[in-house]
Structure formats: structure tokens, C-alpha cells
Amino acid sequence: MGWHEVFKRVGVPEPQEDATGTPHFSPVNGQLLGCFRAVSPQHVSHALDRATECFLRLRQIPAPVRGELVRRFSLELRAHQADLAYLVTLESGKLIGEAWGEVQEMIDVCEFAVGLSRQLHGLTIASERPHHRMMEQWHPLGPVAVISAFNFPVAVWAWNSALALVCGNPILWKPSPQGTLSAFACHGLLVKVAQEHGQLPPHLSQVLLGEGEIGMCLAGDPRTKLVSATGSSKMGREVAARVGARLGRSLLELGGNNAMIVGASANLDLALRAIVFSAVGTSGQRCTSLRRLIVHQSRIDELLGALKKAYQSLVIGDPFLAKSHMGPLINLDSYEKLREACEQAEREGGKLEWGGQRISSHESLGSGVYVEPALLRMKQQTQTMSEEVFAPLLYVLPFSDLQEAIDIQNAVPQGLSSAIFTENMSEAELFLSTNGSDCGIANVNIGTSGAEIGGAFGGEKDTGGGRESGSDAWKNYMRRSTNTINYGKDLPLAQGIEFEFS
Ligand code: UN1
């Protein structure tokens, strides 16, 4: 099966190939998937014109009617789940089961957004003045730019787009070039559904291919009312500065450097499953991947032994095969970063307990970069551990006192996801308390990765502070209007101020 057949089956237009464009390779085996050209800054400007025109009409359409678009889109996603998962694996190298889960995440967030389309409500607030009423309304915001990363090429776009659409905003999507095909397939389906819907203006979804400078064009333009960006903290700083310079609005979901604490009372069987999935799932290339394992000194030898055994049993190979536990890294550069981090950690007193080497793959996997996940035992937290390495790399270190473990966990610049394994209620509650984890996500007896869409997703500090997906994240995509209505015959002033004149 090739991607051209998938596009035929899904019934959407292919992205245009152009021999002078950037070559796009599959991480699965290095196969050339096509060459695609980036758009120009002028193209971005025209796209923003079209999006603004679309917005003026889209905002007039009742939210539940916009919800109906998203409902129909979710049905299309269900119908084409296998085909879309195929594209995600082909382009990102994640396991086919995980890619299926990623499409499921899109479906779930669409269904969540459909419900929301009848619940975009504000508060009514008690006024301090007689015969007055205060209330909040939430209005559509305007064109939303979504900058997405290679590791979740479609789900994170869907978190943003499903909400943005029910909130009345057109979308401009700059996918990772590594996710070009998946982006065109999802965008194509959305456009098809919008056309069939019959009541919606054109251009509610546009894709803009390119590297960082296209994202920066979107970020710098005041017609972009929200820039939602997922990627590295470095990228987020650049986007935030550009958007901030025009006092625009951004929503950032950036790097993680996630930790799990394993307490003295932990159920190690549960913990082991969670650790292995969080550390090697998606080849350690999730924002929520587990990178630092902080284990009570009384359990560390036992846990390390079990981990080594589990790592040895992993099947690393073709992500399209159901038996594989781990597919390739996205590119050679990631492997080099993994190597550098391992070497640096060893210079800082760490010991490589397992893995960290590239494995020569089967012929059918060509130049795909397959590696053994690295397991490093550290004496304490060191400098190199404060950097996010987007690869399957797990540092393991001991602790003796829980508050000390929490301090170690919090002593990095990032603050996305965190977890504790414990059977001790006081430890769990301390971890979740104000003195506990400083991350946007803090879990008990669950790993750091694999968050559900129903919660607000995102983190603090260098992770960027944004919250996407569930809970009240929809408020990012709307503007709040506070309204005070006087239905009396007097004009009392707030704060009891007297102001008389004749
Ligand atoms: C990301 O890596 O950018 O919690 C998102 C998870 C997924 C989303 C990860 N639901 O692992």
C-alpha cells in the first residue's frame, strides 16, 4: 500500500508534489515519499485575507450548527481511521497501534467539541448596584493559527481545530513538514465535510506548508487572533516574542522533561508497565515521555533489575507490525542527541545500564534509525538532565525523603507531566498539593504519558503555560465580553461614587 492509494480511498486531494520542493522521507525505512514546496509569505498573507473573510461569516452561524460540522467530521475520521493511522505511522514512525490511538484522540476531541458547541456559556454575576445585571458572553475570536509537531501530527491539530471551529474560528494549519501527508488527508476530509454541510463559508481550514519562517509570518500578523504552537521551548520563545511584540495571543505547548517518583510502598508491577510505556512509547518522542525516574533507595535495585529485563524483551522494529514495541526515531539527528546525552551523563557520573545504541535493522527497514532505549543510572540529578532529549532515554536516580524527591522533580526548567507511584495516601496527597509537583499534569499510579482529551493539557515554566484540549481550554479560542445592563431609572455609579452636576 502506498500513500497515493490512501488518498484515493479517503477521497481527498493529494498535496501537490514539486520536484524543486523539499524531499520528504519516511522514518520507517528512509523511503522518499515525495517533494513538497513551502508556501511564500505572500501566500500566508492571502490565506489570512481568506480566513478573515470566512470568519466574518462563520461567527454568524450558531455554535450548534458549527458543532454539526465537527460531528460529521468525527464520523469521517471513524470511517477512515485505518487509512489515517497508516499515514501517521508512515510519516512519524510511531507504532500503528499508537497511530490508531492518535486518530482516536481526534475522534474523541471532536465529540467533546460537539457537546461544547451547546455549552459555550458565560456567568451571570451579582451586581453591586440596584436594577443592574452583569454577565459574560463568549464571542468568536478570529483566525487561529495551529503550528503542530511531527510526533503528534494530527491529534494536537484536532485538539485545537475542533474547539476553534465550534467557537467560530477558521484555522490556518502549519504542520510539521514531516507530517505533510497526514495534514492534507485530515484537512481534505474537513473541507469535504464542510462543503457537504452546505451552510458554511469557504476557507474555514487552510494548510500552509513550510518551515519555521511560515509559522513566524503567521505569528507576526495581527490578523492571526491566536497562535497555538506545539514544539520545542526554543521555538516557543521565538513565537511568543513575535506574538507578544504585537500584544497578540498565543497558546504554547512546549518541551517536557517528565519525572516519575516511585515511593517505598509502590506496586512495582504497575509501576513497571507505566514506566516502560511512558519511556519507550513513541520511541520516547512524546512531550509527555518519561525521562527521569526517581526511586526510593529501598526499591531502586529491584526496579532497575526488572526494567533491564523488560527492556531486553522489547521488540524494536517495523512500526507497522503488531508485535513491535518501539519503532524508529524521527531522524539521525535524534540518535546523535541521544548519544551525546548518554556520553554527557556518563561524564557526570552516570552509568549506562542498558541500550543507547543504534541497531542494524532488517533490509526492508532501509535507513530507518532504530535504537535500543537507553537506561542510565545516576547518583543524583545533574546538569544534562535538565535538558529535554527527544529520544528514548531514561535516567534513574535514588531518593530517601519524599519532599527531596519532589524538589528534584521540580528542579528542571520544564513543567509538563509528572507522576507518583505509591500506596500511601499521605504521599499521594503531598505530591498533588501546593508543595508537590509544579507541573501542569500530576498523576497518581499512572504514567506521565497518554493523557485523556477530557482534561486541560499543558504545563508550566518552559513548557509554555498553555492549556489545550479538554476542561475549559475552549476559552482560549473566544473573546470574553463583560456586560453590565441597567434596567432601572437611575444611574448609580460603581463603588458608590457621587458625581453630581447641573
Ligand atoms: C505531545 O506529545 O505533544 O499524553 C502530546 C499524551 C498524548 C498527547 C501528547 N495524549 O501522551
Residue 49, pLDDT score = 98
Cell matching residue 290: 518519561
Q: How far is the CA of 98 from the centre of ligand 1 (A)?
A: 11
Amino acid at site 126: A
Residue 50, Ramachandran bin (φ over 0: left; ψ between -120 and 50: alpha; else beta): alpha
Q: Ligand 1 pocket by C-beta < 6 Å: which residues?
A: 105, 151-152, 156, 230, 286-288, 449-451
Residue nearest to atom 1 of ligand 1 (CA): 287
Q: How far apart are CA 167 and CA 373, in angstroms?
A: 42
CB atoms within 10 A of CB 242: 19
Beta strands 456-457 and 468-469: pairing type?
antiparallel
Q: H or E element: which one contains 290?
A: strand 290-296
Residue 361, pLDDT score = 73
Q: How far is the CA of 450 from the centre of ligand 1 (A)?
A: 6
Q: What pTM did the predictor assign?
A: 0.97
Q: What is the pLDDT of residues 386-422, one digit of tens each?
A: 999 999 999 999 999 999 999 999 999 999 999 999 9
SS3 content of the chain, % helix, strand, coil (to 5): 40, 20, 40
Test site for ligand 1: of 150, 178, 254, 457, most ligand atoms within 8 A of the Cβ: 457
Is 91 in contact with 175 (CB distance < 8 Å)?
no
Active-site positions read 253, 287
Is 373 in contact with 284 (CB distance < 8 Å)?
yes
Q: What is the dihedral of CA 110, 111, 112, 117, to 10 degrees?
A: 90
Residue 490, pLDDT score = 96
Q: Which letter does DSSP use for residue 232 in this model?
A: -
CB atoms within 10 A of CB 189: 21
DSSP three-state, residue 405: helix
Q: How far is the CA of 233 from the centre of ligand 1 (A)?
A: 16
Q: How far apart are CA 133 and CA 89, in angstroms?
A: 54
Test site for ligand 1: of 286, 388, 418, 463, most ligand atoms within 8 A of the Cβ: 286
Q: How far is the CA of 391 from the centre of ligand 1 (A)?
A: 14
Parts of the chain with a pLDDT under 50: none
Cβ partners under 8 Å of residue 329, min gap 6: 27, 93, 283, 285, 335, 338, 369, 370, 371, 391
CB burial readout 204-232, b (16+ within 10 A) else e: bbbbbbbeeebbbbbbbbebbbbbbbbbb
The gap from C-alpha 390 to its chain's centroid, in whole angstroms, comes to 14
Q: How far is the CA of 201 from the centre of ligand 1 (A)?
A: 32
Cell matching residue 437: 509537583
Residue nearest to atom 7 of ligand 1 (CA): 450
Q: How far apart are CA 354 and CA 305, in angstroms?
A: 11
Q: What is the pLDDT of residues 342-377, one digit of tens each?
A: 999 999 999 999 999 999 877 789 999 999 999 999
Task: Provide the β-strand partners of residue 329.
Answer: 369
CB atoms within 10 A of CB 46: 12
For the residues of 121-164, what is the DSSP string, one character each? ---EE--SSTTEEEEEEEEE---EEEE--SSSTTHHHHHHHHHH
Q: How far apart are CA 448 and CA 260, in angstroms?
A: 7
Question: In terms of DSSP H, where are the helices of 80-121?
Answer: 81-92, 96-116
Question: In terms of DSSP H, where are the helices of 411-470?
Answer: 425-432
Q: How far apart are CA 234 and CA 271, in angstroms?
A: 32
Cell matching residue 232: 520545542
Q: H or E element: which one contains 394?
A: strand 393-399
Going by C-alpha positions, the residue among 451, 429, 436, 439 that lies closest to residue 257 is 439
- Integer Rg of the chain from CA: 24
3-state secondary structure 17-79: CCCCCEEEECCCCCCEEEEECCCCHHHHHHHHHHHHHHHHHHCCCCHHHHHHHHHHHHHHHHH
Which atom of ligand 1 lies closest to the CA of 256? 2
